[in-house]
Amino acid sequence: MRPEALNPLFAEVQTLEGVGPKLMKPLERLGLGRVKDVAYHLPERFVSRRAIADLDEGAEGEQVIIALTPVEHRSPRAGSRGPYRVLAQDAKGNICALTWFGKAAYAAKKLLPVGERRWIAGRLDRYGDMLQIVHPDHIEVESAANMGRLSEPVYRLSEGLTQPRVAGLVEQALGRLPELPEWIEPGQLERSGWPSWREALRLAHEGTDARARDRLAYDELLANSLALLLVKAEGRRRKGQALVGDGRLRAKLQLPFALTGAQARSIAEIEGDMAQEAPMLRLLQGDVGAGKTVVALNAMLIAVEAGKQAALLAPTEILARQHFETLRKMLGPTGVEIALLTGRAKGRERESILMGLMDGSIQLLVGTHAIFQDTVSYRDLGLVVIDEQHRFGVAQRLALAGKGRRAPHTLAMTATPIPRSLTLAQYGEMDVSRLDEMPPGRQAIDTRVVAMERVDDVVAGVERHLASGQQAYWVCPMVREIDGVPDLADIAAAEARYAALKERFGDAVVLVHGQLRAEVKDANMERFVSGQAKLLVATTVIEVGVDVPAATLMVIEQAERFGLAQLHQLRGRVGRGAEKSVCLLLRGSELSETGRARLALMRETQDGFRIAEEDLELRGGGELLGTRQSGEAAFHIAGLDQVQRLLPAAHADARLLMERDGGLTSERGEAARLLLYLFERDWGVQLLRGG
């Protein structure tokens, strides 16, 4: 139950004056359903205006305040969707058009009577030969001195909201802020010169003190660090089981290659964790092709050797099936019983798997989210392996961990390299093992950037490639074309590219994307994996998990539209066999400087960790910061720069509170509980209550 001190903040937004059913829809679209949400709806930027005596003093594109006298109202022609214009003159007689579109024009008729001077605030632009101000921000009778701040906030809006209306709601919300005790360590507060929580929110909306934004960002990072540490502490408190394998099954594995030093080191770290009674909570971070699956298999065999079961959770059915087939082949000499459970398993097949899990005859299970449904029970689950950890959240992981008689050990894996500066933000509750070596024999992939104008040459090259007996991928950003949406109309679509390539290559081409029926998608993928089909046209659904050694050519159309992490993952689908592999990045004709730098980086390196670090410098960490799911909110206040600057101190502060300052039962700890609820990391508090 939420503390009473926060009740004013969690009150419905309808309790603010002027908010009725009509205003609720645009507020909901912005996620502003409570007073708290409005208070934290910080300005995107601030606009600075200059008071000018006449239009000659203003520059096009400048935000100005000027006295104008309306001389004529011009309505659009009947049935026309044209604008409503009010022609107004300045002190010299220069004319400016005040312009409105849609229903907003009704206000202009009352606010701008002909012949009566008004002070206008807005952006000065030009339409044809005439200066204009579209949708003025303010219209006042009094002088410029009474028009409010010359610098004022600009908020993100939704249709039906205006800047003045949002500013008025924010002012009301700030007036309802309760006095809350301080949760930041006093020394940190003094060193930073930060204001109190209430004052920081007020100043953040005024834009008068950059330290206010830092204070609020720190609050969010502290809440996140505390919640993750609570997860870790709860895991250690739960009754686990020490698992020590005797090595008999691992000795039977017939691997085609020797382990790298990084793999051996990671296996030793995992083995040491599993030998402890406290449940392991470890992240295995490895680049594409670094050999995470082999490390995970060793961990699962330790559990089986100790008489327990192991489960591997994958985010997609394609990846689950790929893991199942890979592990089944490796496990052949060991005699370990492995099964696959996805949402498509029905009837007798599903019942057989469920019975095998309950009686323990199935020792190792691979599957999608279906493996932690309520109907799935294990005889004795000792280890949970979660692949592509960033696609699952704490809530899902805890649901699977609750399947064991005692808390099972957990090994999370990600092939998405996370910059060191962000690892704490995403995985602060985990110990981390890093695979920073590539297995021997893994060849470099020849990466080239090709202009889209040469697409016919690329298709001819694909034809020669297929004729030599090899296979290829062709990846597009979208499934199908979208008409009528300018920003999307020119994006390459997989269905259109598939149709064009099928005309040339016939049945040698198959199509896979997320909107296909599961049975069609699986059948097409099976044709490609088996070698019956030679060219796979797809979207990013093949970003992870697809392993076809005979596929040695990757074509990525409109590569500038993909994130660097996606490009790196897609390129990792080739280079898995003995033959030399090539990745062609087809680029559009118009490239930004950032886009050019990103493609150049792909050509220069295959080090996923370096790519992740440089990606931060080139485009910021939006994707990386917004990946946590299922009860784990992304950062809404803290930007990338603030995460990098403030997170180490916030994490250290959280550890100090938990380990030295009495935890959440101390005076500052009680305040920190409020912080967890405020930033909706309350699942961390619920863990302490056994919820």
pLDDT tens, residue by residue, 290-346: 888 999 999 999 999 999 999 999 888 878 888 998 899 999 899 999 999 988 888
8 Å CB contact between 66 and 120: yes
Assigned token pair, 633 = 């909110």
Top pLDDT among 631 and 165 is at 165
For residue 499, give the CATH number of its domain: 3.40.50.300
Residues 405 and 458 in one domain: no
Tell me the C-alpha distance between 637 and 197, whole Å: 14
Strand 309-313 and strand 364-367: the pairing is: parallel
Residues 524 and 551 in one domain: yes
Say if 302 falls within a structural domain. yes
The whole-model pTM stands at 0.66
Q: Is the pLDDT of residue 470 over 60?
A: yes
Say if 612 falls within a structural domain. no
pLDDT in tens, 112-123: 999 999 999 899
Say if 303 falls within a structural domain. yes
Say if 620 falls within a structural domain. no
pLDDT in tens, 53-108: 999 999 999 999 999 999 999 988 877 778 899 999 999 999 999 998 877 677 77
Residues 87 and 29 in one domain: no
With CA atoms as reference, report the closest residue to 108 among 68, 135, 79. Answer: 135
Assigned token pair, 13 = 């937004």
Quote the number of domains for the chain.
5
Lowest mean pLDDT among 146-155, 162-171, 245-254, 563-572: 146-155
Residues 342 and 276 in one domain: yes
Transcribe 209-253 into DSSP letters.
-HHHHHHHHHHHHHHHHHHHHHHHHHHHHS--------STTGGG-
Q: Give mean pLDDT, residues 379-397.
A: 74
pLDDT in tens, 668-690: 999 999 999 998 876 656 555 44
Tell me the C-alpha distance between 270 and 280, whole Å: 8
State percent of the chain over pLDDT 70.
87
8 Å CB contact between 282 and 270: yes
Q: Is the pLDDT of residue 554 over 80?
A: yes
Domain that holds residue 25: 4-44+174-178
Q: 97 — phi, psi (to 5°)?
A: -95, 125
Say if 87 falls within a structural domain. yes
Residues 275 and 411 in one domain: yes
Transcribe 498-558 into DSSP letters.
HHHHHHHHGGGEEEE-TTS-HHHHHHHHHHHHHTS--EEEE-GGGSSS---TTEEEEEETT
Residues 38 and 55 in one domain: no
Decide: helix, strand or coil at residue 425. helix
Residues 358 and 233 in one domain: no
Q: Element (H or E) spanning 582, and its range? A: strand 582-587
8 Å CB contact between 146 and 65: no
pLDDT in tens, 204-239: 999 878 899 999 999 999 998 888 888 777 767 777
Q: Of the residues 414, 435, 456, which one is the last residue of a structural domain?
A: 435
Read off the pLDDT band of 533 (50, 70, 90). Answer: very high
Q: Of the residues 605, 625, 656, which one is the last residue of a structural domain?
A: 605
* pLDDT given for residue 55 in this prediction: 94
Residues 35 and 55 in one domain: no
Q: 554 — phi, psi (to 5°)?
A: -120, 125
Query: For all residues of the chain together, what is the average pLDDT?
Result: 85
Q: Of the residues 605, 631, 657, which one is the last residue of a structural domain?
A: 605
Residues 425 and 458 in one domain: no
Residues 97 and 221 in one domain: no
Tell me the C-alpha distance between 112 and 89, whole Å: 12
Lowest mean pLDDT among 42-51, 292-301, 505-514, 515-524: 515-524
Residues 302 and 410 in one domain: yes
Say if 534 falls within a structural domain. yes
* pLDDT given for residue 20 in this prediction: 92
Tell me the C-alpha distance between 482 and 486, whole Å: 9
* pLDDT given for residue 151 in this prediction: 74
Say if 670 falls within a structural domain. yes
Residues 233 and 272 in one domain: no
* pLDDT given for residue 281 in this prediction: 84
8 Å CB contact between 533 and 470: no
Top pLDDT among 396 and 448 is at 448
Say if 625 falls within a structural domain. no
Read off the pLDDT band of 394 (50, 70, 90). Answer: low
Lowest mean pLDDT among 126-140, 159-173, 264-278, 616-630: 616-630
For residue 129, give the CATH number of its domain: 2.40.50.140
Tell me the C-alpha distance between 406 and 380, whole Å: 8
Lowest mean pLDDT among 198-202, 357-361, 443-447: 443-447
pLDDT in tens, 258-303: 889 999 999 999 999 999 998 888 889 887 778 889 999 999 999 9
